[in-house]
Structure 1
Amino acid sequence: MPIQDQVYDCLIIGGGPGGLTAAIYLRRFTRSVALVDKGNSRLRLIPVSHNYPGFPEGVPGNVLLGNLSVQLERYGGSVMPGEIVDLRIEDGLFVGDYAAEDAPEGELTRIRAHTVLLATGVADGGLPIENWREAIAFGSLRLCPVCDGFDVMDKRIAVATADTNPVGHALFMRTFSADVTLFERGSASMLNDEDRRRLDAAGVRLIESPLLSVTLDASMKPVLHTEDGEDYSADVFYPMLGEKARSNLAAKLGARTAQCEELLVDAHQATSVPGLYAIGDVTVGLNQIAVATGGAARAAVRIHNQLPPALRRPPIRPSPLRPASGGPAQAG
């Protein structure tokens, strides 16, 4: 049946670990699912994740995504490459305009569904470092202190101030190294007297001349350049440039958001719009792979239970042999 003629039980937008996990659950509940993915999952950037349970030696991000995709395929699901460019409600159904990856420019297909699950993640605020993708792959540029602090134990760690809680990440990294340096991002200091006291008490070095740029040396290590002309070498740099949730599709429908445009959800991952759910980094909470997959399980179970029952039809079996008229059936 053509896509536009179906009404899916759930349209999942975003094929990262959360979206794929939700699709696996829903397919195992025998629900019809359309999973659309633009290919922007941050997991693809992770060279190796060491804090996702079940992989003692760590797992590359693209391998984990590949494993989840194969698992989904075993239950009759698949990823539809492309983008949902608009989402609305018509006649009690969600309607998404789908721009397929291989479709001619401007050609859209309408996808209708009873429910929608948003797993669209966040967009980083920008990375002021040359060859940043290579730096991430090498491990000299990192985005998540919670994810990989253990992996940079006792290294020279550079951290940039963040818009909120500017010293928090630098203090957090003192758990893992005695050599932590915090760089001011702008000409106007973001720190107050209490922030400075906390840094001093923890032994975190503060560089107050604004950070201008970051380059990589011959060994792919970051070199941080400040406005006063000084250069500082480090083993790893956490830019902490902030992020913005990809929540515009939900916000357009009236879903409530919080700081950084993250979506507010209840204990079942439901947004303030009935039938619209959200999981992972696009929601308020801790940005972790395990959190995204856990939220996916909660959302999928809730979606299944809220939809009309998916009653299994009796299998078609041959009719039993009946005795011939006038006596018992005889062996042939």
Structure 2
Amino acid sequence: MQLSKNNLQDKQNPIYDVIVIGGGAGGLSAGIYLKRYRLSSLMIDKGKARSFWMQELHNYLGLPPDTPGRVLLQRGKEHYASLDGDFLNGFVEEVIDEGQTFAIKVKVGRQNSIEAVFRSKYLIAASGIIDYLPPLDDMRNVYEYAGYNLHVCMVCDGYEMIDKKCGFFAGSEVAIEEMVFNLSWFTPYITIFTHGVFTISEPLRNKLKEYGYPIIETPIHQFVGKNHKMTGVELTDGSLIELETGLISMGSRYHNTYLKDINLELQGNNLLTDKMCRTSHPRIFAIGDLKVGLNQVIIAAGDGALAATAIWREIRRTTGARPWLENLA
């Protein structure tokens, strides 16, 4: 059932078995499995999952390689709705551990918003991350090419960059150290752009020079290209650098601040989980990009199945077997 401001009241009293925060591939997969397991669930989605603006999902088994991410999400949402799962567009502000239940505070509506509180026995955090993109005055110019031949994931899209002139757009020296030499597995034709926001140390500068990787520290004015195909970068001094593809590595923002008051184990910015995606809290699960692992759509979907199954097994053991009452009369 699609929830809105008009029908929230009736849904704030019952306690859901599970609330899923995030309606991306992982969250939708979890929701579908939860409903197939006959568990009550509410999915709360802020909109625009990371995969929403990916134009082609080349790494999802069984789908045509030109399938847009938004198509996968729409089909997943329709599947979840067909199983009578509750869905709410809203922004989760806080999760409070009440002992046996969680209270989830949600802001609903971007204009004239209202606050609502929902409760559940279990929680699945599937809210993902947002990648930082080159901060230009005209961000539409970035989105013109992002998700086409301007990529954010080397694991997903490295093979699309094979032996192409690639711009590597870094947000820090650490990003260069971690990514550039791995990127060279796919292509050695790498030009590094700092956008003028940080300085590269002399040791790293010398190492990059040894491999012949140019460093461009002049800020970017705009990307250039046509029909979503990026062909280069125009710098603020008017010069043009020709490219055939690009990889953005400027960091990410994790959507997990609603868990800040719950003491969960982290590895860096990622939540630590067991093999079934359970965090250090026994009733909180983390899936997809929030947890330690590969940031892949197909893995997030698998994580959703794992988390939902673990929760069902636990509730099933607690509830016990259902008797055939007519045979006991």
Partners of 1:211 and 1:226 within 8 A in 2:
yes
After TM superposition, list the pairs within 5 Å mapping 1:1-12 onto structure 2. 2-12=10-20
Counterpart of 1:75, as a letter, is L
After TM superposition, list the pairs within 5 Å mapping 1:253-332 onto structure 2. 253-259=262-268, 261-307=269-315, 308-309=318-319
Of 148, 151, 157, 1:148 maps to 157
Match of 2:94 in 1: 86
Counterpart of 1:183, as a letter, is F
After TM superposition, list the pairs within 5 Å mapping 1:67-78 onto structure 2. 67-78=75-86
1:61-110 CA-to-partner distances (Å, cap 9, x unmatched) read: 011111211221232224221222221123521011233348x7342222
Distance 1:39 1:281 in 2: 16
Counterpart of 2:245, as a letter, is V
1:132-181 CA-to-partner distances (Å, cap 9, x unmatched) read: 222225x2422112111222333321002343241443333333334222
TM-score by length of structure 1 reads 0.83
Structure 2: state its 5+ residue gaps: 1-8
Match of 1:181 in 2: 191
User: How many aligned positions are there?
Assistant: 313
Of 106, 116, 129, 1:122 maps to 129
Sort the Cα spacing of 1:36 and 1:187 in 2 relative to 1 into closer, same or farther, 3 A.
closer
Distance 1:310 1:126 in 2: 50
Distance 1:109 1:161 in 2: 40
Match of 1:238 in 2: 247
Query: Secondary structure in 2 aligned to 1:63?
Result: helix
Distance 1:39 1:62 in 2: 11
Moved more, 218-227 or 62-71: 218-227
Partners of 1:211 and 1:224 within 8 A in 2:
no
Structure 1: state its 5+ residue gaps: 317-332
Partners of 1:120 and 1:282 within 8 A in 2:
yes
Distance 1:222 1:123 in 2: 25
Partners of 2:94 and 2:259 within 8 A in 1:
no
Query: Secondary structure in 1 aligned to 2:12?
Result: helix
Q: Which has the higher contact order (CA 8 A, sep 6+)?
A: 2
1:262-314 CA-to-partner distances (Å, cap 9, x unmatched) read: 22222221222231111111122221112211221221111112223375575
Match of 2:176 in 1: 166
Q: Does 1:136 pair with 2:156?
A: no
Structure possessing the higher radius of gyration over alpha carbons: 1
Distance 1:314 1:54 in 2: 41
Counterpart of 1:200, as a letter, is E
Partners of 1:170 and 1:181 within 8 A in 2:
no
Match of 1:157 in 2: 166
Counterpart of 1:248, as a letter, is T
Query: Cα offset for 1:51?
Result: 1.0
Query: Secondary structure in 1 aligned to 2:114?
Result: coil
Q: Does 1:41 pair with 2:41?
A: no
Question: Which structure has more strand as a fraction of its residues?
Answer: 2
Query: Secondary structure in 2 aligned to 1:8?
Result: strand
Counterpart of 2:127, as a letter, is T
After TM superposition, list the pairs within 5 Å mapping 1:217-232 onto structure 2. 217=225, 220-225=229-234, 230-232=239-241
Distance 2:27 2:293 in 1: 17
Partners of 2:23 and 2:47 within 8 A in 1:
yes
TM-score by length of structure 2 reads 0.83
Distance 2:226 2:100 in 1: 59
Q: Percent identity?
A: 25
